A and B are shown apart, each in its own frame.
Chain A
């Protein structure tokens, strides 16, 4: 998106209420993972042209971290989910 995000907790809100962190497709490696796995996690990006999942923080709203699936060419938002709930399968 570039204008609005529909927060699963707060409803439709403008970009100004959010802070964007970046790629939500990354998984933090195990502490003892190889150095190159860590390098990959911290520094390398797919940076896709098309569908992309990103972490957005509703910093001026409910302060939840969201996973926003968005098209980087059309900016169309395909889905928004609460990151923690998505990870835990809906039960925090």
Chain B
């Protein structure tokens, strides 16, 4: 309880209180607080437990890199684990809980791991838990899994919404600190389209920490620049090819009850002509014993809490610094009336110009912070030996690392700078400039100048006339930085990666065991793999590895910086595509017709298709399907086949073109005729099948399967545009133009004759005819095809989609006296299996026309068609390829299922003995038993052979016999009736 709120100062609204809770305790804060600042203001410094040793942890930073202060917020479907307290804008009803502790934060049993730490060194688990064999999975691993992880995610569905959008700009400015603000102002004044994004809720960056008076004027100017769009609470998460940036805006994460009309988070995909990365610099922790005890804090964070939220870290603060940041913090602490116990500086000369009260101990370092759940003092090693000082907080600053992650997202490697004792972004990359502290500048003046200058440069690169920087060039001289990687002689654990409990010794061990490469050390010790992705730890780890290996940090190099800059929710990346809206729904023009006839629908790709039409008294889907099938074969039925792909093909070379894309001939197809066609891939396998009709010399109409409608059109376009661009041929998808109805059954002609004007007798309109017809006495025009998938006398009638429902109703009405029924995809499936017609259950991408018994369709005379050459290969013509046959059970009462394999009678059930499998099966109500189609080695030569239909997966073993795939009307008498 040593941190507290000062009675005056800060940028909080003291007039208003915010009620929130932490671990069930009711607390209050003010607008302008983060959860972290509010906890500190309430004297709460112990906020979490570390991953491995369950060490008590406090708040270390004031920003996105926070490794310790992770909490779970929200309840039910709004539960959010691992949220950084430093980034949560305080709001009413905020319910935060600490994580990874049991039974309580203050008393955590897991802390016993700390006592075992000598045996839990880096990578210890690779060396043990192996005996006795089998104990790993049964004993060790379950225990490890239970202990692992940080927060607990909810299984409840999220009540809030998310969205995504696109944005375009001339200049994207990332970070609204001094450099970013100066850049955005410069570009805004020049009239450019500017996006200015900052992860915080308030713009200003270090201007806020400093309370710089210029900030309000700058913000006011943006109000008057409509071409500058400001995006607070927006983290740019990744830099992608072609200067596309991803960003996440936390639209409503700071409100108690989100407005349902707005998303809680929005993903921005920003197409930027130019971008300026002004993301500032991250202060580095110092590595010394006990550097994780609550109360030890980054100097800059301490100063930010002090100046922005008027939170004092304690009553007596020790400062440990390698640069002027510690002195600035000390000065502000003293100005706020807080005692600074000492400024400990490893440099011999300290910082010139210090005129505060605190004594400066140069050539010294803190070797240990003392205390358990709070800091009680520090041990300082200097020239004169070790001394102890009382202190209840420690501010530390190990120097600054420019935040260059985004600049390295596209593969460029950071470059070590001895002067900055830091890695800088690589030189010039197209479309992206770095400005301010991100480019290694430390003073506000230098950052303002740099931001303005870079904006002018960026705009000039994209054709803007000379742009005037909003800030004048100033003095940018700065002192070289002094690296300091770790304090020697620490007694306590000196942490490098706080969250993952990687300490100095772990890195030493990694080097000793041969894992000294920076990438291996990361993987072996888990340094840099915590939720902050090494933002705080990586540079120190590199420095430590460099010392251990006796090389420079430049030689050690960095691990790869990858998106995302900070973790991103699935929700933001998903947007509106959730639940029923995961994919859009496609609806047939006959959907309502099917619906009012009682259809049960099934998803087929994006479509909903009528599967069957249950009637009163039918208790199972089979009842309905059997009834539909029998009725069609007896009378007639009407089925919606609108989802089949339909492509109009135009052009003087259309016939030539079709001849090349189908393996069978099309050039000589007569006008008014339809033909079944098989399309191969270039590798000789069947791609798709369908019928194509000719309406005039230069107009064909192709149908495809539902599944490949889009694929076939793309394939045709590929052939036409890249293989044979000299052919005149055009395509128009007309799938959606036509409501297409299959009318099948012996009565179908009688029914259709009632609405079709033309003579459709067998003589006038024989099998495989296609023509435009006149309906209802000339009031409507449609396209009629005499084709059949069911094996019955059948037609397909197409009418403009809007008329579909009217025409379907009319057919049903006309068919009533003939006993017509509506039927769905299931009955269609049964009838096609009865007839031995194939679908994509058989055309599975590994069959040739020969495999399906269509070998004779493949033109032997055409000089060329897609797939011709590859079809000739030995393996494609091998006699023992699986080929299409029928299978049926020996005992008509026995059943079998699709996906069963075929074994020779009496053969052992092994993969070597596998003869093929059942591609499709159904109960045939006409035959009274199950039937199936199968691909079986040498199938057609084995008709009559007894086989085992083997379904070990369900323990179903059916004696069967190989038969012809055509179960009904092999002579096609019904078809030609």
The interface of chain A, by Cβ under 8 A from chain B, is 1-4, 12, 14, 19, 21, 24, 28-29, 31-33, 35, 38, 41-42, 55, 57, 59, 63-65, 74-77, 82-85, 87-88, 92
Q: Which residue of A lies closest to B239 (CB)?
A: A3
- Indicate if the CB atoms of B714 and A75 lie closer than 8 Å: no
Q: A42 — which chain B residues lie within 8 A by C-beta?
A: 682-683, 869-870
- What are 11 sample pairs from A and B whose C-beta atoms fall under 8 A apart? A1-B241, A3-B244, A4-B241, A14-B269, A31-B869, A41-B682, A57-B718, A75-B242, A76-B241, A83-B722, A84-B722
Q: How far apart are A77's CB and chain B's nearest CB, in angstroms?
A: 7
Complex CA gap A83/B721 in Å reads: 7
Q: A84 — which chain B residues lie within 8 A by C-beta?
A: 720-722, 725
Tell whether A35 pairs with B244 under 8 Å between CB atoms, given A12-B271, A19-B714: no
- Indicate if the CB atoms of A65 and B241 lie closer than 8 Å: no
Q: How far apart are A81's CB and chain B's nearest CB, in angstroms?
A: 11
- Indicate if the CB atoms of B240 and A87 lie closer than 8 Å: no
- Residue B863, interface by CB 8 Å: yes
Question: Which residue of A31, A33, A64 is within 8 Å of B721 (Cβ)?
Answer: A64
Q: A87 — which chain B residues lie within 8 A by C-beta?
A: 722, 725
Complex CA gap A32/B873 in Å reads: 14
Question: Which residue of A2, A29, A63, A88 is within 8 Å of B726 (Cβ)?
Answer: A88
Complex CA gap A33/B870 in Å reads: 11
- Indicate if the CB atoms of A21 and B721 lie closer than 8 Å: no
Which 9 pairs from chain A and chain B are nearest by CB?
A31-B864, A84-B725, A3-B244, A2-B241, A4-B242, A38-B869, A84-B721, A3-B242, A65-B721
- Residue B213, interface by CB 8 Å: no
Number of interface residues, chain B, beta carbon within 8 A: 29
Q: Which residue of B lies closest to A2 (CB)?
A: B241
Tell whether A31 pairs with B863 under 8 Å between CB atoms, given A57-B714, A92-B725: yes
Tell whether A88 pairs with B725 under 8 Å between CB atoms, given A4-B242, A12-B271, A42-B683: yes
- Indicate if the CB atoms of B714 and A59 lie closer than 8 Å: yes
- Indicate if the CB atoms of A2 and B869 lie closer than 8 Å: no
Complex CA gap A87/B411 in Å reads: 35
Q: How far apart are B796's CB and chain A's nearest CB, in angstroms?
A: 26
Tell whether A29 pairs with B869 under 8 Å between CB atoms, given A2-B241, A4-B242: yes
Complex CA gap A70/B720 in Å reads: 24
Given contacts A4-B242, A41-B682, A83-B725, 15 further A-B contacts (CB under 8 A): A2-B240, A2-B242, A3-B240, A14-B244, A14-B269, A31-B868, A38-B869, A42-B870, A55-B722, A57-B718, A59-B714, A64-B721, A65-B722, A82-B721, A83-B722
Complex CA gap A32/B868 in Å reads: 10
Tell whether A65 pairs with B242 under 8 Å between CB atoms, given A4-B271, A33-B869, A83-B725: no
Give chain B interface residues in 849-869, CB to chain A under 8 Å: 863-864, 868-869
Tell whether A55 pairs with B869 under 8 Å between CB atoms, given A42-B682, A42-B683: no
- Provide the B232-252 mask, 1 if CB < 8 A to any CB of A, else 0: 000000001110100000000
Give chain B interface residues in 792-846, CB to chain A under 8 Å: none
Q: Which residue, of B166, B244, B683, has the highest number of chain A Cβ atoms within 10 A?
A: B244
Q: Which residue of A lies closest to B722 (CB)?
A: A83
Q: A77 — which chain B residues lie within 8 A by C-beta?
A: 242
- Residue B872, interface by CB 8 Å: yes
Complex CA gap A82/B721 in Å reads: 9
Q: Which residue, of B244, B721, B723, B870, has the highest number of chain A Cβ atoms within 10 A?
A: B721
Complex CA gap A92/B722 in Å reads: 12
Tell whether A65 pairs with B718 under 8 Å between CB atoms, given A74-B411, A87-B725: yes
Complex CA gap A3/B872 in Å reads: 40
Complex CA gap A65/B715 in Å reads: 10
Question: Which residue of A35, A75, A76 is within 8 Å of B869 (Cβ)?
Answer: A35
- Indicate if the CB atoms of A38 and B241 lie closer than 8 Å: no
Complex CA gap A82/B722 in Å reads: 9
Question: Which residue of B718, B722, B873 is within 8 Å of A35 (Cβ)?
Answer: B873
Q: Which residue of B lies closest to A83 (CB)?
A: B722
- Residue B717, interface by CB 8 Å: yes
- Indicate if the CB atoms of A1 and B725 lie closer than 8 Å: no
Q: How far apart are B711's CB and chain A's nearest CB, in angstroms?
A: 9
Q: Which residue of A lies closest to B865 (CB)?
A: A31
Q: Which residue of B lies closest to A87 (CB)?
A: B725
Complex CA gap A21/B717 in Å reads: 12
- Provide the B657-683 mask, 1 if CB < 8 A to any CB of A, else 0: 000000000000000000000000011
Q: B240 — which chain A residues lie within 8 A by C-beta?
A: 2-3
Q: A65 — which chain B residues lie within 8 A by C-beta?
A: 717-718, 721-722
Question: Which residue of A4, A59, A82 is within 8 Å of B244 (Cβ)?
Answer: A4
Complex CA gap A18/B718 in Å reads: 13
Complex CA gap A10/B240 in Å reads: 22
Q: B873 — which chain A residues lie within 8 A by C-beta?
A: 35
Q: B269 — which chain A residues lie within 8 A by C-beta?
A: 14
Complex CA gap A85/B718 in Å reads: 13
- Indicate if the CB atoms of A57 and B869 lie closer than 8 Å: no
Q: B721 — which chain A residues lie within 8 A by C-beta?
A: 64-65, 82-84
Complex CA gap A46/B576 in Å reads: 41
Complex CA gap A73/B126 in Å reads: 35
Q: A12 — which chain B residues lie within 8 A by C-beta?
A: 271
Complex CA gap A82/B410 in Å reads: 28
- Provide the B46-76 mask, 1 if CB < 8 A to any CB of A, else 0: 0000000000000000000000000000000
Q: How far apart are A64's CB and chain B's nearest CB, in angstroms?
A: 7
Q: How far apart are B535's CB and chain A's nearest CB, in angstroms?
A: 25
- Indicate if the CB atoms of B725 and A3 lie closer than 8 Å: no
Q: Which residue, of A28, A75, A88, has the highest number of chain B Cβ atoms within 10 A?
A: A28
Q: B242 — which chain A residues lie within 8 A by C-beta?
A: 1-4, 75, 77
Q: Which residue of A lies closest to B728 (CB)?
A: A92
Q: A24 — which chain B residues lie within 8 A by C-beta?
A: 722
Q: Which residue of B lies closest to A29 (CB)?
A: B869
Complex CA gap A35/B216 in Å reads: 76
Q: Which residue of A lies closest to B720 (CB)?
A: A84
Q: B714 — which chain A residues lie within 8 A by C-beta?
A: 19, 57, 59
Q: How far apart are B746's CB and chain A's nearest CB, in angstroms?
A: 43
Complex CA gap A21/B718 in Å reads: 9
Give chain B interface residues in 683-699, CB to chain A under 8 Å: 683
Question: Which residue of A1, A33, A63 is within 8 Å of B717 (Cβ)?
Answer: A63
Complex CA gap A32/B863 in Å reads: 8
Q: How far apart are A80's CB and chain B's nearest CB, in angstroms?
A: 12
Q: How far apart are B921's CB and chain A's nearest CB, in angstroms?
A: 34
Complex CA gap A77/B242 in Å reads: 8
Q: Which residue of A lies closest to B168 (CB)?
A: A12
Q: How far apart are A31's CB and chain B's nearest CB, in angstroms?
A: 4
Complex CA gap A63/B241 in Å reads: 23
- Provide the B205-231 mask, 1 if CB < 8 A to any CB of A, else 0: 000000000000000000000000000
- Indicate if the CB atoms of A28 and B723 lie closer than 8 Å: yes
Complex CA gap A19/B864 in Å reads: 27
Q: A83 — which chain B residues lie within 8 A by C-beta?
A: 721-722, 725
Q: How far apart are B150's CB and chain A's nearest CB, in angstroms?
A: 32
Q: B870 — which chain A residues lie within 8 A by C-beta?
A: 38, 42
Q: Which residue of B lies closest to A28 (CB)?
A: B723
Q: How far apart are A21's CB and chain B's nearest CB, in angstroms?
A: 7
- Indicate if the CB atoms of B717 and A57 lie closer than 8 Å: yes
Complex CA gap A3/B269 in Å reads: 10
Q: A38 — which chain B residues lie within 8 A by C-beta?
A: 869-870
Give chain B interface residues in 865-887, CB to chain A under 8 Å: 868-870, 872-873
Q: Which residue of B lies closest to A43 (CB)?
A: B683
Q: Which residue of A lies closest to B726 (CB)?
A: A88
Q: How far apart are B429's CB and chain A's nearest CB, in angstroms?
A: 10
Complex CA gap A50/B526 in Å reads: 34
Q: Which residue of B lies closest to A73 (CB)?
A: B411
Complex CA gap A83/B242 in Å reads: 22
Q: A14 — which chain B residues lie within 8 A by C-beta?
A: 166, 244, 269
Q: B726 — which chain A residues lie within 8 A by C-beta?
A: 88
Complex CA gap A45/B721 in Å reads: 21
Question: Which residue of A21, A57, A75 is within 8 Å of B241 (Cβ)?
Answer: A75
- Indicate if the CB atoms of B241 and A55 lie closer than 8 Å: no
Complex CA gap A19/B714 in Å reads: 9
Q: B725 — which chain A residues lie within 8 A by C-beta?
A: 83-85, 87-88, 92
